[in-house]
Each structure stands twice: as C-alpha cells, then as structure tokens.
Structure 1
Amino acid sequence: MKIEYEAARLSILRKLDLLDSAPSESFDRITRIASQVFNLPIAAVSLTDQDRQWFRSRVGVDYLEIPRDKSCCSEVVDQSRVLVVNDLLESEHYRDSMLAESGIRFYAGAPLMTRDGFSLGAMCVFGTEPRQFNQQELDTLRDLAAMVMAQVELQHAVGRVDSGTGLPNYLQFVEDLEDLARDHPERIYYALSTELVDLSQASLLQRVMGPSYLENLSRAGSAKLQQILGEKARVYHIGPGQFAHLETGTEAQVLVRAQRVQEALVHIKVGGIAPFMLRPVLGVVPFEPGTTNASAVLRTAHSASRDAREAELKVGLYSKQSDASHQRSFGLIADFGESLNASNQLQLFYQPQIDLRTGQCVGAEALIRWQHSTLGNISPAEFIPLVENTPLGRDLTDWVMKAAIAQTALWHQAGLPITVSVNITAANLDEEDFTDRLLGYLQVANLPLSAIGLELTESGLLSNGRAARMQLEALAASGMQISIDDFGTGYSSLAYLQDVPAQVVKIDRSFIDGVELNRRSQTLVRSMISMAHELGYRVVAEGVETEASLAFLKELGCEQVQGYLLAKPMPVEDFEAWSAVRQ
C-alpha cells in the first residue's frame, strides 16, 4: 500500500509540473511572509521528489535541492503531519544530516496536502539556533501551507470552471460542500443529478453524431437549467450532459420542482432542433453536509437518476435498497477475481442426464457454485450474468473447463464414461484461442472430444460473428457435442436451426414445468420435439420434476432428461454415490 501511495503521489507531483519550474512571485511572497512572521532566516516551499527535496520557493538559502535521505521535509511527507525539530543536533536521526552539517539547528514544516490526501511537500522554516514552537505558530504554519496549496490549485490544478458551459465543475462542487459543512453542518439539503441522455450510450452517440454532440448538448442544457432555476441558483457541470445542483425544502417540494425541471428540459433545442436521443432524468438524494462527503453525494444522486431511467420515470428518489443492490453487484465482481485463485470458494456441481430408453446416466451438466468467503453461498443466477459482462468472463469459463475436464478424466479412468457438458457464452467464441485452449486441456487429460460437450444459448448462437461460427463448426465437425441451451426462450427459434452447428436441443424448463397439466405447453413441447427430430437433433428436456411429465416426454420420443425428479445438481462425492446406486 505504501509503494502504491508513493507511486500515485509522484504521479500527481509530475502532472502538476511544479518540479524544476521557474521562480514565481506568488510562491515567493508566501515564503517571505513565513520568514517574517516567525522571525527566522530561512523559509521554503519544499517538494519531495523520488530521491531529492526541491525548493519551489526559498528565502535565506542558496541551493535549490538537497538529498531526500535524512531530510526533515521527507518525514513530513511520509507522515502527512506537522513536524517540529527543536534542535537537530539533539536528534539521533538528524544530527548527521546535511541540514545539521550546514548549520541548521531548528526545523518546522507543515505538509502540502492535495484534496484527495496526497502529501506533495512541506511549507517549512529553518533556524540556526534551537527554538520552541507554540500552538499559535503551528496553526499559522498550517495556514501558510494551505495558502501554498491554494496557489498550486489556482495555477496548475484544473480550474474550477468548465470551459464549455461556463459552469462551476466538480472541484468547485467539492469545495462548496466543504463550506456548507462548516456553515450549516446539520441542515438537510437535497442534491439533484440531472442526466440529459443515457450516459451508457455516450460512445454510441459520439460515434453517430460526432464528438461535438455532447459538448453542444451540454451548453444548451446548462443554459436551459440556469433559465429554469434562476440566475441565483448554482448549477455544476459534472460530466458530458450531466449536471448537479442543490435544493432546500421538504422532500415533496423538492420532488415537485425536480419534475418541473425535467419537463422543461425535454424542450431543449440545439441549433433549433431537438437533440437526438434526448431523455432527461433527475435523481434526488437528501444529505447533511457535515456527515456526507461530496463524492458520496454525487454518487448517490447519480444512482437515483439511473434508477429513474431504468424505471422510465422522470425523477428518481435515492433508494438505499437499490443502491445496496448495485454496490453488492460491484463488490461481487471485484471479489470474483480473488475467488478464481482461492482453493475453497468455487466448486462444480453435476446434474445427471438420463437416457429415457435405457434409464442409464449418459451425461451430466457441470454447474458452478460459489461459496463466498464472507457472504456465503452466492447464487449462480446472481453472479454469472455479472461476471459474463466483464473480462472475467473468459477466466470463469476457463476455470470451469479445466475443472470439468479434470474431473471427467478421473471418471473415465474409473469406468464412468459419461459426457460432461460445460456452459459457454458467445463472448468465449470470440476469443481467438478458445478452441486451441479447449483442445489443449483435453489432450493433457488424455480425453476424447466426445467426453466434453458445450452448451450455448439461442441468443448466444445468434450473436456469433463469422470467426466465432467457424470455431463452433470446427469443434462440432471434430466430434464435440454442441447443445442449444434454453431452447424456445430466444426470439428466433426456427430460422437458424437449418444450419446451426449443433447436435442437441435442450428444451427450457419453463416449457416442461407442469406440462402434463397444460394443453398449450403440451402442444408446444410436442412441436419442438417433432421439429428437432425432423432436423436431425437429439432432444434433452430440462426441469423434469414429476412422473407424469417424464411419461409424457418418453411418449414423444425425447432422448434424454434432467431435473429434480431424477437428481439435483450434486458435488462430486454425492454424484459418485448416486451413480453407484443407480448402476
């Protein structure tokens, strides 16, 4: 953590372009004041580089830099707090330092802190005689350090005003909330986040409309907002097409005003034309300035606006429950990477697939389970959709393939020659090395291709590009079983069946559940099985839970079934015990 902090600190120092820069009167004025206020011969604004202390401004000293080793300012930076050394010669650490050897006896320094907690250097004063510092002098030194940082921000840090809209920006929002925390710490305010377009489609908008689209929309939106709220209202430009402002009053009053703002924003014009995909929404969150920081205020207000957009509402009020759900999702994604390397979190369960003609177990579907280290069991229905939409989707499938192949090899060696099916996604087939990796794992395990099957949903098959389709065709041609999973739930269940590279159709459980009691379901299932057979597919029915539905499927010539009637998904030990009993 210390190494990461130092790397980030040095990065900020370089971005501010302060090191080795020309003298500046604005900094020199502060060092002269420091020397006079404390009646000390030497004062400096010191910046801590990787291996040196460089003086951005100095009074009473000729050299521009000294080594960082045994530098008092370096300790100020490392500890991020005021340091006073009454007599360097009495200090075991500093008595043989360059400062002490040059005649310095007294040192006092206050850290130069950025708003996000990084210490860049020190506002420091030196004396040639030992000295004490009282509390008032310490407070004054801290104030001078704050003045230095204010000057740094003024000159280098990205100003407080957005150049495109002329509105105050995020940094000004942060500063204003700090002022509110000092002046009105217990007063309830409402932060309103305004989003003119769906920001999740920002890249598409720029691609279609050009890079200036969002800039022009932001300018038009800022003018409209200021007109609606009045010139005295302080509106902040937070991001492309995204604004924030504060309100007071009751919750009901704020929500009514927010709705009026939204209804007015619908009529924004850019160049006399209504902007493409303009869909303004507002998010509202109450907060107390003394207890909530600016970042949390904006995040929760934006969360409320996203909830409004997803629910197709004009205005959304912050919901702790909804926010907690999103926070949990984000946390699960962050934690899943660690689970891949843990030895006791991920596990495969296996659900048997039974041949209806022989009653034998001829296969099993491998289903991943996650026992989170602190949250306990996480449902696959919750974490798989999250992970699949991140780069971790590749690692998830890779883990499942390796684990399933290793276990299948053990079963084949023990005389249980079943086919184990693994679920993959369309994104996996877009990986250029997917086929090579899979074949490599099978070769290492000394397994035939027929030992492992791949299951892919209808939507996954339909979204495949040419390269992905070629991988799938090659695998099917080489003897690997390809199954169309959740058949019947997609939006095009017929046209692609003529040439899809698969051998098996798995009818989704939603059609099988209660099929013996529902004539329409019976008609659909009968048609699916008949059509699949006519096209040369074998049929597996999922979700078989009653004897009646099993008999109905057997009568229709369905080849294989899986479901709780026969067996639930089981860990390896239970699956092996179940297999032994069934045999």
Structure 2
Amino acid sequence: MLDRSQDLERIALIEALNVMDPALGRSLDPVTELAAFTFGTAIALISIVDADSQRFISRVGLALERTDRHHSICSCALQSSGILQIEDLRQDPRFHDNPIVAGPEQMRFYAGAPLVTRNGIALGTLCLMDRTPRVLTADEQRQLQTLARIVVNQMELKMSLGRREPISGLPNRQQFQADLSVLGRQDGGNQFTGVLLDVFDLQSANDAGQALGLKPVESLLRQASLRVQEVLTDDVQVYHVASTRFAFVVRNHDHAQVEALMQRLRERMRRPLMVGSIPMSPQFHAGLCDFRADPDEAGDLVRKCMVALNHALQTDACLCWYSADRDAHLRRRYRLASDAARGLAQDQFSLVYQPRYDLRDGQPVSAEALLRWTHPMLGPITPGEFIPVLECTALMPALSQWVIEHAFAQAARWQQLLPGFTLSINLSPRDFDNANLWTGMAERLQANGLVPSQIEVEITEGQWLHSHPAALPQLRAMAAAGVRIAIDDFGSGYSNFGYLSEVPISHIKVDQSLVTGLARSRTARLKVEAIIRLAQQLGYRTVAEGVEHESELSLLRLWDCNEAQGYYLARPMSADAVTQLVLACRAGPPSDMDSD
C-alpha cells in the first residue's frame, strides 16, 4: 500500500503531466493495439490510478472507461518493482470477488507493468488481461516492460511540448507552475523561497533587436540564462518564464542566506554581455517571496513574486521581498477598476464643487466640478485614489462624459441664478482618444443653453500631449469657440513653459504641493513667485490651488496672483451650497480677506 505522501506526489504528477488528456490517450492507442497483438490477449489497457478511480486512457477489448480504485488490480501492480503477473485471478484471494473477475467480463489472467517516470513515480500500468489463465515467459515480460517505457516516454514527450522556452532551452512558465503543483503535493509544509529575476530592460532589448536583429538578442538571453545556472547549485532548477525573466525556488534558506545568494548572482549578472560587437550591461532586479509548499501558497507564488519584482523595478532596487500590504493595495486598485462600471450604472458617482475666488475683490467667480465615489462596500473613495486607476482603463472616457453631462446641466442652472459664474471640468488624456470629444461637448453646451465662454477645461501638464496627436487640434477648436483652457497641477512635474506655446491655454493653476505651506518654505516661495511672474508676462491668468492659510493668501496677493482655491477659502460642497455662498458674497460686504 502506498503511503499518503507518495500517493499525493503521484496524483500531483498525474495532474502536471496532464495524462488524462484525451489527445494523449489517442496517441497511445497504437502502443495498446501492439501490446494486444504481440501477446495475443483479449484486452490491453493503459491504466492511470488517481485519487479515487482507475481510468483507462487507452484500451483494446474493454468497453469500461474507469473503475473504482478499490476494485483496481493495477493499484497492486503500482507497488511492484517489476511485472505483477497473476496466472488465474479466480484462484487469487485478493481478486476472486473483483467485479471484473466475478462479473460478466470473467477475466482470469492479468499482467501489469508499472508506468514509472524518470523521477521514480508510478502513475499507472500497461496491463494485459485475458479470459483464460496463462503465464508470460521471461522474454514476454521484458517486451511488456519495454512497451511500458515507450508509454512513459510518450507521456513525458507530450508533456514537454510547449513546456520549454526555445531561446534558452529552459523549462518555461507553464512547466514552472506545474512543478510548483507537484512541490505542493510532495513537500507540504516545508519552507521555500521563490525568486523572479528580470535580467534585461525590455525596451533596451527591443531597441537592440531593431538595430541588430533578433539573433544577437537571443544570444544575450542565452548567455544570461547560463550565468544564472552557473551561480545556482545543481539541485536548483531555473525556469525561463518571460522574455527577460527567470525564476527558481530555493529550499530552507533564511533571508540572509537568500540575499547573499542574490548578491553573488547580481555580481555575476552585471558583468557586460556581448550583443553583436557591443558590450551591454544586463540589469538585475529580483522579486522574492517565502512560501510553504501547500497547493494554495504554491499556486499563488508567481503572482506574489511579480508584486515584489515590480516594486523593485519601480524603485530601482536590487531586490524586494513580497509585501502583503503592497499586494492588498494593488488588489484594491484592481477592485476599483473592475467595480467602476457597475458604480457608474448604479449612480454611485456624484459631483461636488469647489469655489474659486478672484483675489482682487474676494468674490467667488467659478467652481471646479470634482468627482466623488461612494462604494457600497468600501465606502467613500478619494479621487486621488480612484482617478489614477480609472485613467488606465477604457472606462475613463465614459466617466468623463458622465461628468460633462451632469456638470453642464448644473452650469445651466447657475446661469439662471448666478449670471457670469463659470464652471471648470477636468479632462483626462484618455478622453482625447475620442476624436469626437469636442463635437460632443459642443452639442451638450447647446442643449443646455450655454455658451463656451462659461466653461473651462482643465488638463494636466506633461508630455502626454505629444503622444495624443488628436489632443492639440481639439483643444484649439475648443479655445477658438471660446472655452477657456487651463493647465492643472503646474509645477508638480514636467513644468516646462516652452511647450505651453503649443497649447491654447488661458490659465495656469499652480499645484497645491507648492502653495500649501508656502510661507514656511523659501524654495517654494521662489518657485511660485517665478511661475506667477513669468505667466503674467506670457499673458496667462494664474490660479493658486491648495490655499490653506492666510499667510499663503497674502503672499499670492502680493505677487498679483489672479485667483485662488483651497480649504482656507472654501471646501468642496454641494451645488446648492455653492449657490447660497455666491449669493451671500454678492449681496454682502467685502470679504475679510479684501479688507487689509
């Protein structure tokens, strides 16, 4: 009787080899037919014994496709070092009551050769059965064992197809995942560390491929794979799991040992490699994750290593260990992306509005429409969290259209109550992928009785304008019609006045990261004053975002900043609250900030 660990290992290997695939059974039918013909038996079977049953993946002379494992004669043959041969099953007390013996099939003779893989695991048998007692000669037994080896070779060959990376010759990601499954069955509870390496920048590899052709790049990857194998011990299998990525597993190492191994590997990998006649330095980034070899942890290893590796790439670190907190953050981002479409359909999104003030007279002159999301399970989600996520999805344009429709309707209501009060909306780079963006906006303006000058469009600064060729013509069409164009978050990143001449902007919004705490930072004061002065000379109006203190407001007024927005002046609020605020300001005395 096989012990439990051996049986689990065998069942895992059956899954990894995918021996239940009907295509494999069909490819083995000629061997089964040859066995029946060679030995002159009524029945020949290739039998695989799994967790609860015996399945005949190839058979001659028997209609049954499977039997209960409890009634399987082949289960006994699995434990045999050679052929299990039973001259007369009726005379054997183990099998005389077996359904295939006592039932309609009336089997008498059995001979089974275990199907033993290269790692010594028996998956099943190649067996012969007949309705009359008989005995195989020694030569016949050797022939049956030869046919059994052919069956195993065919299984392993079938499995290896599509399981090796042709460039390096190493097992690929599919084989890595299959071997992890076997590991989980075989060594459950033992501690391992999974490693995912990125050895060459993919863009550099693509550039080299365009310049030199694919053969030199393939040579580079083969050299890299050899270096990884040279550093690791013989019992560590290396896998080529993606274009420039390799993976392996080490056993029973603490973090210090693993990191020492990674340092040796890095030193070896960082030496220049020749691509054509050009020496190139491979990069080295690694994601590492501890795991126990149970099926659940092993099955999720590749994903966790990717989480760690991507963090190493983002931070340009040599290696990063898996972080459950980082993983949870990424999963939350993915959940937001997947739940957003449902949220839009179920009215989970809403708009609030933050007033913007003219610094000459202290009056609120416009409001920025800000999107809010109340998730039914996660509660309120801040725009700083969900907007960057949705900007990477195909849903962002639909969400922007929703904002345009609802914000323009509100702007129309304000024109009745607050003449001259304007509205600004934010558009994402993804919105400009729609060639009909401005056409649709113009239709909504007309439908709501608005004129373009009552609307301002805010776009973020940056290089994205050059990668969206449709953006500039649409922005120019908007500006020509009278829509005001504002550059949002200026000073937070790219911040180049040179490219502004290409964009028909009217306003520059100084980013809140520079404005908040302005009075306490000499560097911030120099930057903000310089931005405001230069913007004025170029003919742009300036708006300061993130004003939270009177001291910041005083400096902005000193530098002749045109408008300001921030919590010190007004927090985001409902449309009705904006209406009441503006009416009160227009009816009342000058605001306190204009009295000094």
Whether the TM-score (by the shorter chain) exceeds 0.5 is yes
Alignment of 1:543-554 (within 5 A): 543-554=546-557
CA gap of 1:561–1:251, structure 2 versus 1, over 3 A, is: closer
Alignment of 1:37-76 (within 5 A): 59=61
CA displacement 1:17-67 (0-9 Å, x = unmatched): 959x899425768995459999xxxx9989xxxxxxxxx977568xxxxxx
- 1:349 maps to a residue whose letter is V
CA displacement 1:129-170 (0-9 Å, x = unmatched): 799xxxxxxxxxx9699x999978854884433332222222
SS at match of 2:219: helix
Give the structure 2 partner of residue 301 of structure 1. Answer: 305
- 8 Å contact kept, 1:426–1:464: no
CA displacement 1:288-312 (0-9 Å, x = unmatched): 1124354411221232222222232
Q: Please, what is the CA RMSD of the aligned residues?
A: 4.2
Give the structure 1 partner of residue 256 of structure 2. Answer: 252
Q: Rg larger in 1 or in 2?
A: 2
More deviation, 550-559/320-329: 550-559
Give the structure 2 partner of residue 392 of structure 1. Answer: 395
Query: What TM-score comes out, normalization by structure 1 length?
Result: 0.72
Q: How far off its partner does 1:397 sit?
A: 2.3
Query: What TM-score comes out, normalization by structure 2 length?
Result: 0.70
SS at match of 1:316: strand
SS at match of 2:287: strand
- 2:257 maps to a residue whose letter is Q
- 1:262 maps to a residue whose letter is R
Give the structure 1 partner of residue 289 of structure 2. Answer: 285
CA gap of 1:556–1:282, structure 2 versus 1, over 3 A, is: closer
Alignment of 1:375-454 (within 5 A): 375-415=378-418, 417-454=420-457
CA gap of 1:430–1:178, structure 2 versus 1, over 3 A, is: closer
SS at match of 2:169: coil
Give the structure 2 partner of residue 216 of structure 1. Answer: 219
Give unmatched runs, 5+ long, in structure 2: 1-17, 37-42, 70-99, 107-122, 127-147, 587-596
Give the structure 1 partner of residue 590 of structure 2. Answer: none
Q: How far off its partner does 1:385 sit?
A: 1.8
Give unmatched runs, 5+ long, in structure 1: 1-12, 47-55, 62-71, 84-124, 132-141
CA displacement 1:443-490 (0-9 Å, x = unmatched): 232321122210122215753655421211111011001112223334
- The 2-side partners of 1:23 and 1:176 are apart by 24
Give the structure 1 partner of residue 169 of structure 2. Answer: 166
- 8 Å contact kept, 1:217–1:275: no
- The 2-side partners of 1:445 and 1:400 are apart by 14
**Which structure's relative contact order is higher, taking Cα pairs within 8 Å and 6+ residues apart?**
2
Give the structure 2 partner of residue 575 of structure 1. Answer: 578
- Alignment pair present for 1:25 and 2:33: no
- The 2-side partners of 1:27 and 1:449 are apart by 80
CA gap of 1:165–1:421, structure 2 versus 1, over 3 A, is: same
What is the count of residue pairs matched by the alignment? 488
Give the structure 1 partner of residue 331 of structure 2. Answer: 327
Give the structure 1 partner of residue 499 of structure 2. Answer: 496
- 8 Å contact kept, 2:272–2:281: no
- 8 Å contact kept, 1:266–1:279: yes
- 1:285 maps to a residue whose letter is C
- Taking only the aligned residue pairs, the percentage that are identical comes to 32
SS at match of 2:171: coil
- Alignment pair present for 1:264 and 2:279: no
Q: How far off its partner does 1:369 sit?
A: 1.4
Give the structure 2 partner of residue 513 of structure 1. Answer: 516
CA displacement 1:526-566 (0-9 Å, x = unmatched): 44333323322222222222334334433443332211122
SS at match of 1:565: coil
- 8 Å contact kept, 1:44–1:58: no
- The 1-side partners of 2:444 and 2:152 are apart by 58
More deviation, 293-302/370-379: 293-302
CA gap of 1:460–1:434, structure 2 versus 1, over 3 A, is: farther
SS at match of 2:462: helix
- 2:225 maps to a residue whose letter is S
More deviation, 431-440/487-496: 487-496
CA gap of 1:130–1:413, structure 2 versus 1, over 3 A, is: farther
- Alignment pair present for 1:314 and 2:308: no
- 8 Å contact kept, 1:44–1:59: no
- Alignment pair present for 1:362 and 2:389: no
More deviation, 520-529/234-243: 520-529
- The 2-side partners of 1:57 and 1:337 are apart by 52
CA gap of 1:359–1:238, structure 2 versus 1, over 3 A, is: same
- 1:255 maps to a residue whose letter is E
Q: How far off its partner does 1:364 sit?
A: 0.6
- The 2-side partners of 1:27 and 1:407 are apart by 78
CA displacement 1:102-138 (0-9 Å, x = unmatched): xxxxxxxxxxxxxxxxxxxxxxx9xx9799xxxxxxx
Give the structure 1 partner of residue 537 of structure 2. Answer: 534
1:559 aligned to 550, 557, 562, which one?
Answer: 562
SS at match of 1:564: coil
- 8 Å contact kept, 1:267–1:274: no
Give the structure 2 partner of residue 91 of structure 1. Answer: none
- The 1-side partners of 2:573 and 2:34 are apart by 75
SS at match of 1:459: coil
Alignment of 1:186-265 (within 5 A): 186-199=189-202, 206-207=209-210, 210-212=213-215, 214-248=217-251, 249-265=253-269
